Chain A
Amino acid sequence: MKQRFSFSFQWEQMLFVLILLAAAWSAQLSPYYLSFEQILNSTRQFIILGVMAMGLMVIVILGEIDISQASTLAVCTVVLSKFSAAGLPIWLALPVIILIGSALGSFNGILITGLRLPALAVTLGTMGAYRGLAFIIGSEVGYTGFDDTYMWLGSSYIAGTAVPTSLILFLLVAFAFYILVHRSVYGRMCFVIGNNADVARYSGIRVPLIKIAAFALAGAMAAVGAWIFVGQYGSARGDNANGMVLPLVTAVVLGGVDINGGRGKVLGVVLALLLVGTLGNGMGLANMPGPTQTIVLGMLLIVSVLLPNLVRQRSSFRIWSSFRTRGGRVPVK
């Protein structure tokens, strides 16, 4: 048992080492990298991604997938732009878009659980539908006249420091998800469902309800992401966060969450986000062209799953098999 406990940290340890390597590489690539303020500021690049990845993680642990999250974000930014134009105060607009986000999310969940549809097909459809909806609401012209109160979260820094306000929010969200996933009954039920939905059903867990809640939560996280997005980019348009699916899934999978469900850790996903962020930051500072960065991200996604798989096939050493299980597993014994 003790051994297993230490092994379960392996994947996170490896991520940590990779982050250090990426940071060293970045420092090598660019003289501007090694500055505390620079690094802190660069975290803004993955905060939106991170907040949404937290929501997606719970869905993946449940053994489902949601590729419509980025489109939900677009709907929320566009709705925010309408509210801002109408002069609605932010404290009123915020609950409304979070509600809209969770409504869009639970619509996915209801279709998936109620009609037992495959999550990928449903969210593929709603990905297009929500994206279209965002364009229909906001038309093709972008909106840039956001009120300062709307922009505050995404654009401000903690007074006197270089810490972005949104980073604090991200840390709070990550901590909340840590409690939810690893320290609450709900989280435990998610792992049970992800490992074996039949067992979950027979032991009286209301599987549909939990799944719908997870999808609603992911939608709400997309709405929070929209709030940060508006502040960071100061614009809202139907194609906001287009193409965010790849980095989202990469972050979750690289973080050690099993795409087939049942395993995963919040810490792993946070570390994976840091890794992706560090790589992106370093390569950006080194003026590496965008396509190269995309290739690196894609390769990272493939290798992070392929390597443990190959090693497992080659040898049956226990130390290697821990890479496969990658943390957060529910002990079988």
Chain B
Amino acid sequence: MSTTTANGAVRSQTGGRNLANLALRLRVTGVLVFLILLCIFFSLTTSTFFQAQNARIIAFNAAILVIAACAEAIVVLTRNLDLSIGATMGLAGYVTADFAARNPGIGPELVILALVLGALLGLVNGLLVSYGKLPSIIATLGTMSVYRGITYIYARGQQVTATQLPPWMLKGVDAMVFGIPSLVLVAVFTVALVAFFLHYAPLGRTIYAVGSNPAAGHFYGLRTDRIVLFAYVFCGTLAGLAGFLYAARVGTVTVILASGWEMTALAAVVIGGVSILGGSGNIVGVAIGALVLATIDNGLVLMGMPEFWRMFIQGTAIVLAVTVDSLIEGRIQAIFKGKRRLGQQQ
């Protein structure tokens, strides 16, 4: 009996489903516990951390990263990478902001431009990876510099200032709905959408299948090329959204918008328990992973630590997360091996 379990790993034993479910819960619980420990640590060391206002700030800061990390996770689940996500955000964000500056009367339909641009850039990545057969790390490392370069050339040394942006854009990001920042609502909606898509939609399930074992997926009859292409387009679209929101949030949009975000997004994905080898992981975990990074940022600032400690701690957190992940995985495999041997003896 072969079941694709909630974390996407295909187990071939009856007990496998429960075990894998347990592992999934362990994994998400692990990130959650880490987040709670972080919160306790910062609450004890600083007096300003444990406040509703600060929680709101963290959620606000994490919101865009959550969206970017969701985008990255979709691609990582297919056993690929997107290193161009920061450049995609930058290009989509800049062009959209520039378009808004040139057409002052434009309304919220502007978002569509960002989404379409993101989707197009994702399509290029996807075509290179799925039909050009490029290793994803090379393809997206290349497009990372190409997209960023295009942003520079498009901008011609200019930048878009907050006064040029339509007021609804700036107000919309800072708006509160029932005391919750609107950005957080958008992020929660995105997580819900992506989680629903990945865990319940048939196409979403095939993403896990392709990521777990591309060859098996191919022989099962899945159009692996198209699925990977779709994952990249989805990722690009979400990156376009994230770029738009980020542009609206910072107000002054420059060509270096969101540079370096590919690493932060990938960090959130890895900390959130998505296997970098594809096929296993959970979007809620990714969202918590992004929250962990935002909490570390926030706490260190409150503690008055220099900014560069952040890099060190973030990096260490990534290494710790993959280590814990592999230990859990190893334990599960050991259990399976034991069972199989038992079966053979009987």
Bound complex: CA of A103 vs CA of B151, how far in Å? 39
| B276 with A132: CB separation less than 8 A | no
Given contacts A136-B308, A246-B141, A260-B135, contact A298 B146 (CB under 8 A): yes
Query: CB-CB contacts of A276-319 with B at 8 A, as 1s and 0s?
Result: 00000000000001111011011101100110011001000000
| A301 with B142: CB separation less than 8 A | yes
Query: CB-CB contacts of B119-160 with A at 8 A, as 1s and 0s?
Result: 000000000100011110111011111101111110000000
Question: Can you list 14 A-B pairs with a CB-CB distance of less than 8 A?
Answer: A116-B326, A120-B137, A126-B315, A129-B311, A131-B312, A131-B315, A132-B308, A132-B314, A246-B141, A250-B142, A253-B138, A289-B153, A294-B148, A305-B139
The size class of the interface chain B forms with chain A is 35 or more
Tell me if B319 is interfacial: C-beta within 8 Å of chain A: yes
Quote the shortest CB–CB distance from B93 to chain A (angstroms): 17
Bound complex: CA of A92 vs CA of B318, how far in Å? 34
Tell me if B248 is interfacial: C-beta within 8 Å of chain A: no
The size class of the interface chain A forms with chain B is 35 or more
**A259, A297, A305 — most chain B CB neighbours (10 Å):** A305
| B134 with A125: CB separation less than 8 A | no
Complex interface: chain B residues within 8 A of A177 (CB): none
Main secondary structure of the interface of B (DSSP, over half): helix
**A120, A125, A131 — most chain B CB neighbours (10 Å):** A125
| B308 with A298: CB separation less than 8 A | no
Tell me if A37 is interfacial: C-beta within 8 Å of chain B: no
Complex interface: chain B residues within 8 A of A136 (CB): 308-309, 312
Which 9 residue pairs of A and B lie closest in terms of their CB atoms, listed nearest first? A132-B312, A128-B315, A129-B315, A291-B152, A135-B308, A125-B318, A132-B311, A298-B145, A295-B149
Complex interface: chain B residues within 8 A of A131 (CB): 308, 311-312, 315
Quote the shortest CB–CB distance from A59 to chain B (angstroms): 13
Tell me if B270 is interfacial: C-beta within 8 Å of chain A: yes
Query: CB-CB contacts of B319-336 with A at 8 A, as 1s and 0s?
Result: 100110011001000000
| A129 with B152: CB separation less than 8 A | no
| A140 with B306: CB separation less than 8 A | yes
Bound complex: CA of A136 vs CA of B148, how far in Å? 29
Complex interface: chain B residues within 8 A of A124 (CB): 263, 266-267, 270, 315, 318
Tell me if B313 is interfacial: C-beta within 8 Å of chain A: yes
Tell me if A121 is interfacial: C-beta within 8 Å of chain B: yes
Given contacts A125-B319, A132-B308, A136-B309, contact A302 B128 (CB under 8 A): yes
| A129 with B316: CB separation less than 8 A | yes
Closest chain B residue to A247 by CB distance? B145
Bound complex: CA of A238 vs CA of B267, how far in Å? 20
